[in-house]
Structure 1
Amino acid sequence: MGLQVRDYEGVLTVELGGRVIIRHSRTEPWIYAGHGQGQYDMYRGNFKVSDRLGEKLALVDYAVESSDAGDVRVTFSKSGLLPLTVVFGVEHDRAVIRFVGNKEGINRLWLRLAAEEQEHVYGCGEQFSHFDLRGRNFPLWTSEQGVGRNKDTYITFLADKEDRAGGDYYWTFFPQPTFISSRKYYCHVDDSAYMDLDFRHPSYHELQLWNIPEKLVLEAADTYVELLGKLTAYLGRQPELPDWVYDGVWIGVQGGTEVVLDKLNRALAMGLQVSGVWAQDWQGVRHTSFGKRLMWNWIWNRELYPGLDKEIEKLREKGIRFLGYINPYVAVEGHLFKEASAAGFLAKNDRGEDYLVDFGEFDAGIVDFTNPEACEWYKNVIKENMIRFGLSGWMADFGEYLPTDVVLHNGASAEWMHNAWPAMWARLNREAVEEEDKLDDVTFFMRAGYTGSQRYCTMMWAGDQNVDWSLDDGLASVIPAALSLAMSGFGLHHSDIGGYTTLFGMKRTKELFMRWAEHSAFTPIMRTHEGNRPDDNWQFDSDDETLLHFARMSRVYTALKPYLKAAVKENADTGVPVMRPLFLHYERDERAYSIQYQYLLGRDLLAAPVIEEGQRTVGVYLPEDEWIHLWTGRTYRGGDIQVDAPLGQPPVFYRAASHYASLFESLRSLD
């Protein structure tokens, strides 16, 4: 489905598979250009971004010519000012819009793509507050996701007041200039500059770009499944996960060898199915006013974890893997900082000194991923200190803190490299695993991402949610986050069970942990986190009732192994995500397009997690099909229903026609 360009009576029309994508005339131009200077104020990963705009002109005039290759070249200008040549063509069966001939130093573009009033739009990376993006604009800049993320809440007010960290609905670790329209096409901007995608106007979508991009890529399809296949064929797909990950939960524990083993043994005695022990403090800890932090010197801390090398071997013999933690920075106190600094592997400031970033009461240097030698050095840190040491996985944290005034080895503007940085961090981790020939045995998970993360990262997690029930930053928010990433081409997602951020009096409750565990049993990975203030939070082993509930949900998760493995393989082979919006398989159901707190797990399971405190009866919408309630066996045909949801029985349904119906039925007998 290539682009068709028509020029008739002063109106330029561009169609994609019969869909009008661009309509340009003097009275309704599709392209504006100008000059601006971005202003970026970063404080501990939180950014205030503004533009000092110098000029903006509608490029109403155009001249069309066709090239020998079949491309159509159009030069747009305003009475000869700011001329910009745009090439409409096809590359590798994809429609491509390229921007060439920028002789005036234009660094701002506004592009208007034709829209319909009832159109739905999804994607833009990982969006926590809104799944359907229509009616809002989304600035795309990787940063901390914010605490609260809703300017009308008291928590967000306090976070803004104390640390400029409250955030807003569009703040995200993983932005991406990609959207999928309900008109069944996708548009991807191939660039990493700051952008703002605005879907508020009834007749057009406006893309504001703080650069002249290399190209826009567009494809259309007859179904969403086919469309996601095309998008992921372009962006890349995640590999299948190692087999061991499905054999139980990954318990997030800290405190040293004795503490970790004691917690593990108690959990196992209570029936918890465990496939991994995730100890993020394997390399040491520090304490700050924010809470418990890590030392950021990526090597086994023998004092805190004596005998860990031997214990890892013993755990593996029991079918339990050990996972750790790393990020792209090295703390100034550690030997890795000194080693990297001496070799010139750290990014610099404008005086040629190592650029130090304040991460909250401690400083760290930035490993410069634009320096090939620095990348090889850091990959060797991962290979030697983590993989060969015996780790089977790790949290590859951060990636979104790159300051815009840093000086990089390759000479590129840090303003332009900022969004690309998380994908470069993903690539380094992936190459370390592949070069050790461990992709079928070792995995890593990340919170930050951008275009390219699909190709390199093996698993995303939702980052640092509040330990509360808030829609914008609590349990509920991880569902639209997973679905938005799914529609951005990334199909593997999970979250910290119970959330992470504990501030301003927030404390994880027993009920929140139990409900979050129920949700996570119906995701690709079950993993806990103690949070930044573990002593303030209810943990999986805080009492026997919680641990028994968690153990039961772990058995539900492990029983689903063959189904989950098949769904993950489908994602690897075709790009169809594991957690899916309802309309992916029920395209004619208009209600399905506005549902963001329910999802399909694979083709045959529908989950509607409990996201409200104290809720014991839940309203669920079922697309037209024959659905069987997982816990009672009652059959429903679709529509709005009310279903009981006591603790331990989250609203989950399966299709009666599923090949896995007998497996799902067996879950009712799990004690």
Structure 2
Amino acid sequence: MPLTIATGYDWLSCHHAGREVLRSTPAAPAIFVAKGQPIVTMVRGNFDITDTPQERTALAFAQMDGESALLSAAPGAPPMLRLSAAGDSLRIETLQPGFDRVWINLVAQPGEHVWGGGEQMSYLDLSGRRFPIWTSEPGVGRDKSTELTRLMDAQGMAGGDYWWTNYPQPTFLTSSLIACHLDSSAYSVLDFSDPARHRIEVWEGAFSLEFFADDTIAGLVGQLSTRFGRQPPLPDWAIGGAIVGLKHGEASFTRLERILEAGAQVSGLWCEDWIGIRQTTFGRRLFWDWSWNPARYPALPDRIAELAAKGIRFLGYVNPYLADDGAQYQEALSAGYLALRQDSDAPYLVDFGEFDCGVVDFTNPAALDWFAERVIGREMLDFGLSGWMADFGEYLPVDLRLHDGSDPMLMHNRWPVLWAECNAKAIASRGKTGDAMFFMRAGFSGVQAHCPLLWAGDQSVDFTRHDGIGTVLTAALSAGLVGNACSHSDVGGYTSLHGNVRTADLLMRWCELGAFSPVMRSHEGNRPDDNLQIDSSDAILAQFAAMSKVHAILAPYVRHLSDEAVATGLPVQRPLFLHYFEEPLFAVQDQYLYGADMLVAPIVQAKVTGRSVILPGEQPWRHLWSGKDFAPGTHFVDSPYGQPPVFYRPESRFAPLFATLETVQ
């Protein structure tokens, strides 16, 4: 049933699919409006955003005006907001000048659980908390009780908090089997801190709320995937072995040979430093001019051909900004493709930490086409790259001037989607959709239709609750519920600051997690010389090699899951409640279903040799490594290195494939 609006003498009600989603009375008004003037401070992708709303007004009275409802502050007062129903959407428009802040309280059911919010790192179940929706750096530490977060807050507001994320999305699902999406790119807040209501705050005067309902949570996830667009399929090569990340210049190829000699199954070599490096106090950074750097990789075309002969693809790195000391910056400047300052026609420069960059203005179609063809098409795809990290997208400032005249406050969240569209357009122009692959950390509503693979961003190289290895599970599960079928992470983590470095324990466990992810890719991190790498010791290398074999053996199953995602929208990594809809499972975020037939409970705590695992349902699960069957329930499972807790359905048609993994050491 479509959404309906009805009013009475002292009430307003909206229903969708037979359920009341909004109710307002003079005693409990559901909608408020105000005037706002945001104050936004950005330091290298970290944002501080404040507002002091003026003339906040409760709209407690409503009357029908044709098919719409007009809301006012008092009987007989001028209407201040219009509600209109169109299909499954509720259109909201303020009617008085300057009122560009809206709060809407939706009906919440007693004990209702809530998920979504884009790619959340700290909490899968959003109940009881509020989540600002603004793409940004995720922060380092993300826990105000820790010294690392305190130090990073003191250095450029970079510590973060539980809601900070590269990929927010104003979409949520509830255990009542309804979902709501805010169709606006404005700064917004999903507020679930009051169990009596779900509040949406929007910094825009005209927008829509879209509602979805289904009989199952899987059906609801499929509907959302259809709404935002299905991800392109993963290439066979990307799931058929590990992608080894090395940034050691020409020496990377020598190191790769040792990794191969150790028996690792390698499908790709990822050298993000293919464009050269720039040393900063943060660590070894890249030179942001997107073309081959012969000084760093003297014979790269020949090397790419040699790798191809071994069935190994070559991957690189790109982002949508241009260093002002690079050749492509000058080319974009001459063509008028850069965003400008508000006070002059000079290009706007963004401080990325000891170097400045211009912003390629993707609101100019010619600029987007130029980047897709001139940079990604010619310098990367035609050169021989099969994939790349499409980094950043979160840094659009709000005080620049864009080609199309749009408000940067409204364009900021949309920027990652335009960036994804640019990458996908370049790949399509070469007929390589489904063969070439890029992966992104930044996102917003609609990125799903363009980006085939997320990565969870720049986790700290540790086991910490809000910024360590465990957060990549929450990231994959939350993003998967709103239409992102495939996610992965940096094996080993990335951020190493203030003496925080990798342990062998962390690296060994992250290898295991990578093996049971759609794509297994290692990363040397921001301080590679200070940290252990996958080839730092024979033991670590043996673990990486063994886990890469596991990943390669599972390729037919992952192919099935990727194809299933294209057909149905179901993610590859799934919360337990997606197939076992039981309240005790609603907040479980440290284990996941790998498709419907496998259950993975990675080790995400330091120095442990086992953990408790929940086996849901009514049928037994088979332990992957021993072949022993376990009854449903909670079990403590021993987990030596190389044998993370993994179970599968004995009746699965992939059971013979899974059984072969017992012999992998």
Aligned AA (2:417): A
Deviations 1:385-425 (A, max 9, x none): 00000000000000000111011011111111001101110
Matching of residue 84 in structure 1 with residue 81 in structure 2: yes
Pairing 1:368-517 to 2, within 5 Å after superposition: 368-380=361-373, 381-517=375-511
Q: How does 1:580-591 map to 2 (within 5 A)?
A: 580-587=574-581, 589-591=582-584
Q: Does 1:21 align with 2:21?
A: yes
Q: Which residue of 2 is the match for residue 310 of structure 1?
A: 302
* Paired residues for 1:105-124 under 5 Å: 105-124=98-117
Count of aligned pairs: 660
CA offset digits 1:519-558 (Å, max 9, x no partner): 1111100001100000111100001111111111111111
- Note the C-alpha offset of 1:9: 5.1
Q: Which deviates more from structure 2 when the two are superposed, residues 13-22 or residues 269-278?
A: 13-22
Q: Take 2:234 and 2:142, find their aligned partners in 1: how far apart are those partners?
A: 32
1:659 corresponding residue in structure 2: 653
Question: How far apart, CA to CA, are the structure 2 residues paired with 1:326 and 1:393?
Answer: 10
User: Who is 1:619 aligned against?
Assistant: 612
2:69 maps to which residue?
74
Using structure 1 for the length normalisation, give the TM-score.
0.97
The residue type equivalent to 1:237 in the other structure is R
Match of 1:360 in 2: 353
Q: What's the secondary structure of 1:122's corresponding residue?
A: strand
The answer to whether the aligner puts 1:561 opposite 2:558 as a matched pair is no
Distance 1:206 1:6 in 2: 20
Match in the other structure for 1:341: 333
Do 1:281 and 1:294's aligned partners in 2 also have CA atoms closer than 8 Å? yes
Q: Find the counterpart in structure 2 of residue 261 from structure 1.
A: 253
Aligned to 2:588: 595
Structure 2: which amino acid aligns with 1:523? S
Instruction: Provide the TM-score with structure 2 as the length reference.
Output: 0.98
Q: Any conservation in 1 of the 2:114–2:127 contact (CA below 8 Å)?
A: yes
Partner of 2:284: 292
Aligned to 1:169: 162
Asked whether the 8 Å contact 1:446–1:459 carries over to 2, the reply is: yes
Matched residues in 2 for 1:2 and 1:219: separation? 10
What secondary structure does 1:389 align onto?
A: coil
Cα distance, 1:13 vs. partner? Answer: 2.1
Amino acid in structure 2 at the alignment position of 1:76: L
> How far did residue 317 of structure 1 move?
1.4
Q: Name the residue aligned to 2:321.
A: 329
Q: Tell me, in whole angstroms, the C-alpha distance in 1 between the residues paired with 2:254 and 2:657.
A: 34
Equivalent residue for 1:69?
none
Tell me by how many angstroms 1:491 deviates: 1.3
The answer as to whether partners of 1:298 and 1:326 remain within 8 angstroms in 2 is: yes
Asked if 1 retains the 8 angstrom alpha-carbon contact of 2:94 and 2:205, the reply is: no
Q: Summarize the Cα distance change of 1:401–1:101 in structure 2 as closer, same or farther, 3 Å threshold.
A: closer
CA RMSD of aligned residues (A): 1.1
Listed as ranges, the matches of 1:231-270 within 5 Å are 231-257=224-250, 259-270=251-262
2:49 maps to 49
* Structure 1 pair 293–82 and aligned structure 2 pair: CA distance change class (3 A): farther
Gaps of 5+ in 1: 67-71
State the one-letter code of the partner of 2:356: D
Q: Residue 335 of structure 2 aligns to which amino acid in structure 1?
A: A
Say which is worse superposed, 282-291 or 29-38, in terms of deviation. 29-38
User: What one-letter code is carried by the residue in structure 2 that aligns with 1:211?
Assistant: E
* Closer, same or farther: CA 271–213 of 1 in aligned 2, 3 Å: farther
Moved over 4 A (4+): none
The one-letter amino acid paired with 2:62 is Y
Percent identity between matched residues is 47
Q: Secondary structure at the match of 2:474?
A: helix
Q: In structure 2, the residue corresponding to 1:618 is in which secondary structure?
A: strand
Partner Cα separation in structure 1 for residue 521 and residue 554 of structure 2: 16
8 Å CA contact retained: 2:10, 2:61: no
Q: Distance in 1 between matches of 2:183 and 2:509?
A: 39
Distance 1:413 1:101 in 2: 18
Q: Does 1:531 align with 2:525?
A: yes
Quick one: distance in 2 between partners of 1:214 and 1:472?
Answer: 33
Counterpart CA distance in 1 for 2:7 and 2:369 is 52
Kindly provide the CA deviation profile for residues 278-297 of structure 1, in whole angstroms up to 9, marking residues without a partner as x: 00000000100000000000
Structure 2 unaligned blocks of 5 or more: none
**1:36–1:55 CA contact under 8 A, matched in 2:** no
Distance 2:615 2:193 in 1: 29
Q: What amino acid is aligned across from residue 418 of structure 1 in structure 2?
A: H
Contact 2:246 2:252 in 1 (8 A): yes
CA contact (8 A) 1:83 1:104 kept: no
2-structure distance, mates of 1:168, 1:73? 40
Name 1:2's counterpart in structure 2: 2
Secondary structure of 1:322's counterpart equals strand
Q: What is the DSSP-based 3-state SS (H/G/I as helix, E as strand, rest coil) of the residue aligned with 1:52?
A: coil
Distance in 2 between the 1:125 and 1:212 partners? Answer: 23
Matched, 1:180 2:177: no
Structure 2 CA distance for aligned equivalents of residues 663 and 375 of structure 1: 44
Q: Which residue is 1:647 aligned to?
A: 641
CA shift at 1:19, angstroms? Answer: 2.0
Query: Are the counterparts in 1 of residues 461 and 501 from structure 2 also a CA contact under 8 Å?
Result: yes
Find the residue that maps to 1:667 and give its secondary structure: helix
1-side partners of 2:69 and 2:170: how far apart? 24
- The Cα shift of 1:140 comes to 0.8
State the alpha-carbon separation in 1 of the partners of residues 563 and 17 from structure 2: 30
Q: What do residues 102-130 of structure 1 show as CA deviations (whole Å, max 9, x unaligned)?
A: 24332000000000231110011111111
Q: Could you tell me how far 1:216 is from its partner in structure 2? A: 1.0
Distance in 1 between residues matched to 2:174 and 2:243, nearest whole Å: 36
